[in-house]
Amino acid sequence: MSADSESRIQSSARGVYTYGQRQVDRVISPETRQKHYNAVTNFAMERPLVFAFIASQLLFSALPLALFISFSISTGIFAFVSAVVFSLFWIGVALLVLVPILFVSFSAAVLVWLWAIATFLVGRWIYRMMPVSMQGDMQVKMPNGKQVIFQKERNSGVGLGFDDIDIKEGAAEVKD
């Protein structure tokens, strides 16, 4: 290797080290780290057998614990992603059923509405065309030549019965 490439590698390594050091400093301050480092060093010097036991336990247990934690996290992520994909699939299937049903129900509702409007308009037209429709005072010419006069009472309010109608029969001949 050339000196130029070695200096670039060392420069990159220093950059990675300083970046890592900054990130650690953000999480744990250097003073706190130094305090805990001193406490561990004092414990190792005062009780070397207990420290060696704890260190060996941590050394041999760290890998299985890390694997278990990574397995648990990846299983949770896999379950979450699977649940989302499963839900999206069945929501899509439900939409394939819902859209045609909504189209049919919307069409039926429009047809019923059009039928109701048409029935109302035709019924109103027929009612207005009938010779016996009540639109105020009215005279009806009967086939036998008699004339029937219907007069609505003016002060009767909005009555729907026949209580507010006064019927008078006239004997006058009707001429065409």
Q: How far apart are CA 152 and CA 149, in angstroms?
A: 10
Structure tokens of 130? 């009938």
pTM of the model: 0.43
For residue range 36-91, list pLDDT tens digits in order: 999 999 999 999 999 999 999 999 999 999 999 999 999 999 999 999 999 999 99
Residues 6+ apart with CB under 8 A from 163: 156
DSSP one-letter string for 46-90: H-HHHHHHHHHHHHHHHHHHHHHHHHHHHHHHHHHHHHHHHHHHH
The band of 160, judged by pLDDT with boundaries at 50, 70 and 90, is very low
For residue range 101-133, list pLDDT tens digits in order: 999 999 999 999 999 999 999 999 888 887 654
